């Protein structure tokens, strides 16, 4: 186990629902990072959070899954991630637009799986 090399603080402020929002996050690290490295890593984390997890939560409602038990939640999460990836690679502006287009073209979706 590596010894603690640094403690970092990132302060974020923005506006959500026309109200000011601020958050302070603390990081501990053992790798030899600079402040720029920490900022980049923090931004990369939020890129994943906003680009994938938010879409999965809002578009596919993964926080409130109707499918429970066994392997169903994991299986549906894999399908949802596949749909997001496919929509982005095909150049759709939003995932819901792609889903609406694909809803009447199920044969097309199956052709992508083979």
**Per-domain residue ranges of the chain:** 6-113
Whole-prediction pTM:
0.59
- What's the pLDDT score for residue 75? 87
Q: Average pLDDT in the 14-20 region?
A: 87
Q: Model confidence at 113, in pLDDT bands (50, 70, 90)?
A: confident
Q: How many residues does the chain have?
A: 114
Q: How far apart are CA 88 and CA 24, in angstroms?
A: 32
First to last CA, the chain: 45
User: Is pLDDT of 49 > 80?
Assistant: no
Give the model's confidence band at 97: pLDDT under 50 very low, under 70 low, under 90 confident, else very high. Answer: very high
């Amino acid at each position: 186990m590596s010894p603690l090399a640094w403690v970092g603080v990132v302060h974020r402020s923005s506006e959500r629902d026309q109200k000011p929002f601020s958050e302070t996050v603390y990081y501990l690290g053992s790798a030899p990072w600079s402040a720029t490295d920490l900022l980049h890593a923090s931004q990369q984390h939020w890129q994943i959070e906003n680009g994938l997890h938010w879409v999965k939560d809002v578009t596919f409602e993964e926080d409130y899954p109707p499918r429970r038990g066994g392997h169903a939640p994991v299986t549906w999460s894999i399908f949802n991630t596949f749909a997001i990836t496919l929509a982005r690679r095909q150049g759709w502006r939003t995932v819901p637009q792609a889903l609406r287009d694909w809803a009447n073209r199920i044969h097309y979706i199956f052709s992508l799986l083979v």
